[in-house]
Structure 1
Amino acid sequence: MRVALVPELVGKLTGLGYEVAVQPGAGVGSLSSDEEYVESGAIIEDDLSSADVVVSVQPLDIATIRLLKQGTATVSFLPVSTELGLVADLRDTGVTSFAMELVPRISRAQSMDALSSQALVAGYRCAIVAAGMLRRFFPQNMTAAGTIQPAKVVVLGAGVAGLQAIATARRLGAVVSAYDVRAAAAEEIRSMGAKAIDLELETLEGAGGYAREMTEDRAARQRDLLAPHIAAADGLITTAAVPGRQAPMLVTSAMVEQMRPGSVVVDLAAETGGNVEGSVAGEVVRIGHAQVWGGRNVPSQMPGPASRLYAQNIVNILTLMTAKEGEPLFAPDFDDEIVAGSCVTHAGEIRHAPTREALEGSETSA
């Protein structure tokens, strides 16, 4: 279980002038004790009613939000498209909320990009899961008894998670090939020591470094062309996802059924619909001869490093929103692109336009 602040970074916030209070036992899941927080300068406190800023990994629940004083700010992941009721409550209670998913993907915001930091953890974990489930060596082994050939791994999606999965599988010795719909990804794949799969289809560059949606005809053609690569793989890792949208279905169950006995499929996107037809978040299911592992809250499966990276993202964005002098200490500048882009609610209003429009539509239809 991840935590939004680790003991080693408490001093960064107290150094800015904040008093840091940590909920009792908050760091237990990430192997940080209350005593370590106290030694780092925090206090252990369960009362949020006097807080000016509350940081967390997942959004606070409605009961907790209603305990906050008007004007309190929250900073967390906040999946606005699926949490419209929560957004309405944040608006109605006068709470200012910032969503880490909405931090703009610009150079100045890289140190605050929690999606990327957590994808790094998830990509590594995916490769380790695949290696652990596959009942054969990843690397080639040459022995007096003969040579064991290396495992073949295919990775679909070459964003932060996909590239980390590639790098980890390569470090473990597997022969890796990968595919992404973005043209720039091919060079990144090769830089990790993997082979870039070229399907000779049009590329799909989208905004913010993500791929744009493809037509169903192109998706079907892509699946046909990927099928032989997947059938020849011992392990398949899929990582294609766009925040706030359903994951694209890249691999049909029929394609998985063509894989050899003992094959392993790891679907990182299972929580958002899945890249692999039939995958189930948090479960291992069998499709044909393959075991299919559906990812669920994958960064939390490595809570220590995931918390450390996320906490640094939190400290960096709070530092941006801290006044250099004068009062109040927490003084977000809404003219700043990062602050404005990540803000969901403020002063009784929904500032994130797509969320505001979606909520107004839902309230009108109700």
Structure 2
Amino acid sequence: MSAETVQRSPGATVGVPRERGAGERRVALVPKVIERLRGTCGGVVVESGAGLGALIPDDLFVSAGATIGDPWACDVVVKVAPPTPGEIGRLRPGTALIGFLDPLVATTTVAALREAGVLGFAMESVPRISRAQSMDALSSQANVGGYKAVLLAAERSTRFFPMLTTAAGTVKPATVLVLGVGVAGLQALATAKRLGARTTGYDVRPEVAEQVRSLGAQWLDLGIEAAGEGGYARELTGEERAEQQRRLEEAITGFDVVITTALVPGRKAPTLVTANAVKGMRPGSVVVDLAGESGGNCELTEPGETVVRHDVTIAAPLNLPATMPEHASELYARNVAALLALVLDESGAVAPDWSDEVLAASCVTRRES
């Protein structure tokens, strides 16, 4: 199908720019999802090369019903990473922007979008309620990150993950501890279990203990609870943090692999693995810190780097979902399309219903009436 023969319906046009951030290989919409958008909007315009990082050539977008052109002239622009100042300058006043906007940290970006008259919807601000699960991009991408973290740990470990019985004798399975059992942590536990490791999970939210056990993992009970809102833990008091660290230091030294995923929205990631804990780990052990972008859960973490301290490998990869761009893009595109369906009305025009709690919560910059 050529660009000239694409059938358009009345309504807003949706633009898909090419992501230009370092290492970012995802794309906000994929051909399968674009096919489902036919007839619900005024057409999809994809920037040339937008899908190359995810191994999607331009002709597949065209076959799905999109056109190749300038996405910044569209009524709605969908992205993965927050826009740069230059990209914000290309947005027309009144344009709706959907993507990860990091509103709690990137306050200058949010201010620039507001100044530009852009209607901004942050994917990370979608409330974690039942009817919004299809739009929960944090969860979909965390699944990717949790899975990949275990593969990185297995690659860097000096030991087998599964128990092996050979003619030379039996090798014990590796022991894996996951600290922070949200979506990424649960996926890490499940993946490590599939690889044959003995798994244990810990979180300050006691309600997730049953989920950990359902995956065949043990629950590490330190006697400290900090249930919070929206699926996150509340910030611990100073006394609680000190006691948590003392008990964790004792527990961590008994594991071959520690994977950390603990985050507090808008704040530096809590320190869970101290330098003393690393020093006490067996040589050849591995720490994979998924909180590197927020400062890290390990005291010795160097965000974006893999270092060896006290004969323990500490890896703090950034943006792991981008290293699996095919499936990460597919999942993210479904999240974007689900939110887009709320932003557009039945005619395909941009007409958010502000009484909808999902739109009210995810909108971070709004046009003044």
TM-score normalised per structure 1: 0.92
> What is the rounded CA distance, in whole Å, between the counterparts of 1:84 and 1:348 in structure 2?
19
> What is the rounded CA distance, in whole Å, between the counterparts of 1:187 and 1:68 in structure 2?
47
Q: Is the 8 A contact 1:101 1:243 kept in 2?
A: no
Match of residue 341 from structure 1: 361
Out of 225, 234, 238, the residue aligned to residue 260 of structure 2 is: 238
Out of 352, 357, 368, the residue aligned to residue 332 of structure 1 is: 352
Query: Map of 1:58-73 to 2, 5 A cutoff?
Result: 58-73=81-96
Match of residue 354 from structure 1: none
Q: Is the 8 A contact 1:95 1:348 kept in 2?
A: no
The answer to which of 153-162 and 242-251 deviates more is 242-251
> What is the rounded CA distance, in whole Å, between the counterparts of 2:60 and 2:265 in structure 1?
34
> What is the rounded CA distance, in whole Å, between the counterparts of 2:209 and 2:70 in structure 1?
49
Match of residue 41 from structure 1: 65
Out of 249, 274, 292, the residue aligned to residue 252 of structure 1 is: 274
Q: Secondary structure at the match of 2:104?
A: helix
Q: Is the 8 A contact 1:322 1:329 kept in 2?
A: yes
Q: Is the 8 A contact 1:157 1:178 kept in 2?
A: yes
Match of residue 231 from structure 2: 209
Q: Secondary structure at the match of 2:230?
A: helix
> What is the rounded CA distance, in whole Å, between the counterparts of 2:267 and 2:331 in structure 1?
24
Match of residue 118 from structure 1: 141
What do residues 24-68 of structure 1 show as CA deviations (whole Å, max 9, x unaligned)?
11111111111111111111113523x100000012222222222
Match of residue 314 from structure 1: 336
2:188 is aligned with what amino acid?
Answer: A
Query: Map of 1:158-173 to 2, 5 A cutoff?
Result: 158-173=181-196
Indicate whether 1:291 and 2:313 are aligned: yes
Compared with structure 1, are the counterparts of its residues 78 and 253 closer, same or farther at alpha carbon in structure 2 (3 Å cutoff)? same
Aligned-residue CA RMSD (Å): 1.3
Query: Map of 1:248-287 to 2, 5 A cutoff?
Result: 248-287=270-309
1:82 is aligned with what amino acid?
Answer: V
Shift of 1:330: 2.2
Q: How many residues align?
A: 345
> What is the rounded CA distance, in whole Å, between the counterparts of 2:222 and 2:86 in structure 1?
51
Q: Is the 8 A contact 1:92 1:348 kept in 2?
A: no
Indicate whether 1:25 and 2:49 are aligned: yes
Query: Map of 1:76-225 to 2, 5 A cutoff?
Result: 76-201=99-224, 203-225=225-247
> What is the rounded CA distance, in whole Å, between the counterparts of 1:262 and 1:63 in structure 2?
45
Q: Which runs of 5+ in 2 are unaligned?
A: 1-24
What do residues 116-155 of structure 1 show as CA deviations (whole Å, max 9, x unaligned)?
1111110001111101110221000111211011001111
Shift of 1:348: 4.7
Shift of 1:244: 2.2
Q: Which runs of 5+ in 1 are unaligned?
A: 350-366
> What is the rounded CA distance, in whole Å, between the counterparts of 1:27 and 1:41 in structure 2?
15
Q: Secondary structure at the match of 1:265?
A: strand
Shift of 1:200: 2.2
Q: Secondary structure at the match of 2:72?
A: coil
Over 4 Å off, 4+ runs:
none
> What is the rounded CA distance, in whole Å, between the counterparts of 1:47 and 1:205 in structure 2?
42
> What is the rounded CA distance, in whole Å, between the counterparts of 1:10 and 1:243 in structure 2?
32
Shift of 1:310: 0.5
> What is the rounded CA distance, in whole Å, between the counterparts of 2:105 and 2:125 in structure 1?
14
> What is the rounded CA distance, in whole Å, between the counterparts of 2:83 and 2:250 in structure 1?
45
> What is the rounded CA distance, in whole Å, between the counterparts of 2:298 and 2:273 in structure 1?
5
